Amino acid sequence: MRTIRTKVYKFNELSDEAKEKAIDWCRNVNNDIHDYEDIVSSAKAVADLFDLKFGKSYTDIRFGHIEDRILELSGTRLYKYVVNNYYDSLFTPKYIKTIGRELKCKQFICKIHTGANGKFTQLFSKLTKVNDGCALTGMCYDDDILQPVYEFLKNPDKSTTFEDLIKDIENAISKTLRDIEEWVNSDEYITEQIEANEYEFTQDGNLFR
């Protein structure tokens, strides 16, 4: 039997060269796309909303089943079509205030919750809807994927067709997946994960097990 003594270091105690080695190790063992399932959930929700179908991947949207007269809508006609058919899903009732007790009312939409100090009521407008984000699944990726639609509603370009919006949604899904993959492979993100998990390393940057 023999005893080996090894000095261990926190990440911030390593040399720059050892830090690079530690980051490369973490990048190789944690190669799953962060939040992939959440992005997919948002993509599916958007597809369901607009009656879109996926091909072999979630970045391959098919819309051949949609009538040409719908795909060719543009400008004001497209704006009215989106508002008439999807407004209630894209926007949510405006939050007014919170009352520290159970309250039933007709003037507002009342949502009663139970907290640590008892019941409380959130009041929402029946007349005004806003884009507070995450309208479909509660995930921030809803907004990333729906951004082309929200931008069109703010500025209904005459040349933009419904088919264009669908293709923009497809590109938004691809961009969201690509951005997340780039972020989780960045030195900044990996350093945060190393420090959050309090990993320890040998002097040359190998993980101490």
Residue (of 152, 143, 169) closest to 77 by Cα position: 152
Confidence grade of residue 32 (pLDDT, cut at 50, 70, 90): low
**pLDDT value at residue 43:** 96
Do 152 and 192 reside in the same domain of the chain?
yes
pLDDT (tens digit per residue) in 34-54: 678 999 999 999 999 999 999
Residue 1 lies in a domain: no
Q: Which domain holds residue 104?
A: 93-130
Do 60 and 111 reside in the same domain of the chain?
no
**pLDDT value at residue 116:** 81
**pLDDT value at residue 125:** 85
Residue 205 lies in a domain: no
The stretch 85-91 carries a mean pLDDT of 92
pLDDT at 33 over 80: no
Do 41 and 52 reside in the same domain of the chain?
yes
pLDDT at 209 over 80: no
Q: Indicate whether this model's pTM tops 0.75.
A: yes
Give the percent of the chain with pLDDT over 90.
52
Do 74 and 154 reside in the same domain of the chain?
yes
Could you give the number of structural domains in the chain?
Answer: 2
Domain endpoint, select from 80, 111, 130 = 130
The stretch 81-105 carries a mean pLDDT of 89
CB-based contacts of 53: which residues, under 8 Å, 6+ apart?
A: 47, 61, 62, 63, 65
CA atoms within 13 A on the CB side of 60: 4
d(CA 65, CA 81): 18
Give the percent of the chain with pLDDT over 70.
97
Do 177 and 102 reside in the same domain of the chain?
no
Residue 15 lies in a domain: no
pLDDT at 31 over 70: no
Domain endpoint, select from 106, 130, 154 = 130
